[in-house]
Amino acid sequence: MDRNFTKNLVIIGGGPAALAAALYAARAGIGVQVYERANVGGLLGEISQLDNYPGFTGVGSDLATAMRRQAETAGARIEYGECTAVRPLTDGRATEEAVVAGGTDADTNGRMAGQARFELVIDGAAVRAGAVLVATGAEPKHLPFTVTPPVSYCALCDGALAKGQNVVVVGGANSAAHEALYLANLAHSVTLITHSALKADAAYSARLANTSNIKIIENREPNPEYLNQFAYVFVAIGRTPATDFLRNLPILNPNGYILTGKTVFADRASPSGFAHMSALPGLFAAGDVREGSVRQIVSAAGDGAAAAIEISEWLR
């Protein structure tokens, strides 16, 4: 990393949003450090057959490897490490233990070479940055049991496989309604089963009721015996954005997603119109962790690229 923090970006997470951002930021001459806590590629590593990323079909981890290689060739550094805290700095001063990429960053008088705006904790060590991009994704909540049919957590991704079949959607909120309506165009029949009353809003509920091949079962706990009757099981019981480490910052919506751009600055001008910047100047978000994401690989990558372009402008 450059000692001049006004040019440094730390990216938290190593999925498609992070890797696209790392590529764009490195190519813009920014010192980029990526920290990934588990698997570089993120959810790409769980996709055995990817068919809806333009220009690529195949195993998700192959795309992850290519994305990583391209970002590193452009100059980004990618390391394993878990971020457990992000703190905005008010005066850019170093803490004694802070290091970036193995070196100390304060000069002999304790001054920073450039202004650090954030201090992060990575695997217990302090790391400073001029800007931070959070691209930590959102894990789908899983069924608490196994079933015989194939299980999907993304109708947009796997709906084509359910063509002409009888499928079931587990869940009762807007996201489950959205999945059921999408699948109704493809499947022979769609059963939506929810353990409580339907919680989808009025517009979604009306559309569900008006779609002839959707059947709704409310107040019934789905169990394996019931779900095993269907050709495919689509699960839409919520997601958990990986933002626990940001809980102390005023940038999350009640569900834990990061608010950016218009959602933050609706009542006043967004600084230079940065659509990916949170309420904390210099802290940006991209991919599934950002409120409003459509949760696809192509959109996560596009989001990362757009965020990197904004970060490059902001650092300048």
Give the whole-angstrom CA distance, residue 155 versus residue 67. 25
153 contributes a contact to ligand FAD by CB under 6 A: yes
295 contributes a contact to ligand FAD by CB under 6 A: yes
Question: Which of these segments, 2-10, 34-42, 69-77, 195-203, binds ligand FAD (CB under 6 A)?
Answer: 34-42
16 contributes a contact to ligand FAD by CB under 6 A: yes
Residue of the chain from 38, 125, 160, 209 that contacts ligand FAD (CB under 6 A): 38
Question: Which of these segments, 108-116, 132-140, 209-217, 262-270, binds ligand FAD (CB under 6 A)?
Answer: 132-140
Minimum gap (Å) between residue 218 Cβ and ligand FAD: 26
288 contributes a contact to ligand FAD by CB under 6 A: yes
154 contributes a contact to ligand FAD by CB under 6 A: yes
Cα–Cα distances in angstroms (integers) from residue 47 to residues 58, 63, 147, 149, 313, in the given order? 9, 10, 19, 17, 34
Q: Which is nearer to ligand FAD, 120 or 216 (CB)?
A: 120
Residue of the chain from 8, 33, 136, 175 that contacts ligand FAD (CB under 6 A): 136
Q: Which is nearer to ligand FAD, 52 or 115 (CB)?
A: 52
Minimum gap (Å) between residue 63 Cβ and ligand FAD: 10
Minimum gap (Å) between residue 269 Cβ and ligand FAD: 27
Q: What are phi and psi of 6, to 5 degrees?
A: -65, -10
Cα–Cα distances in angstroms (integers) from residue 288 to residues 24, 77, 178, 197, 206, in the given order? 18, 22, 17, 27, 28
Q: Sign of the CA dihedral 296, 297, 298, 300? A: positive
**Is-contact 268 274, C-beta < 8 A?**
no
- Tokens coding 275: 């659509």
160 contributes a contact to ligand FAD by CB under 6 A: no
245 contributes a contact to ligand FAD by CB under 6 A: yes
Residue of the chain from 31, 42, 130, 241 that contacts ligand FAD (CB under 6 A): 42
Q: Count of CB atoms within 10 A of residue 4's CB?
A: 16
Provide the 3-class DSSP secondary structure of residue 27. helix
Q: What are phi and psi of 193, to 5 degrees?
A: -120, 130
Q: Which is nearer to ligand FAD, 15 or 222 (CB)?
A: 15
CA atoms within a 13 Å half-sphere pointing along the CA-CB vector of 27? 12
105 contributes a contact to ligand FAD by CB under 6 A: no
E strand spans, 28-110: 31-36, 50-53, 56-58, 77-80, 83-88
Sheet holding 283-285, edge to edge: 77-80, 31-36, 8-12, 131-134, 283-285
Give the whole-angstrom CA distance, residue 59 versus residue 79. 23
157 contributes a contact to ligand FAD by CB under 6 A: yes
Where along the sequence are the contacts to ligand FAD (CB under 6 A)? Answer: 12-18, 35-39, 42-44, 46-47, 50, 52, 82-83, 135-137, 140, 153-154, 157, 242, 245, 287-289, 295-298, 300
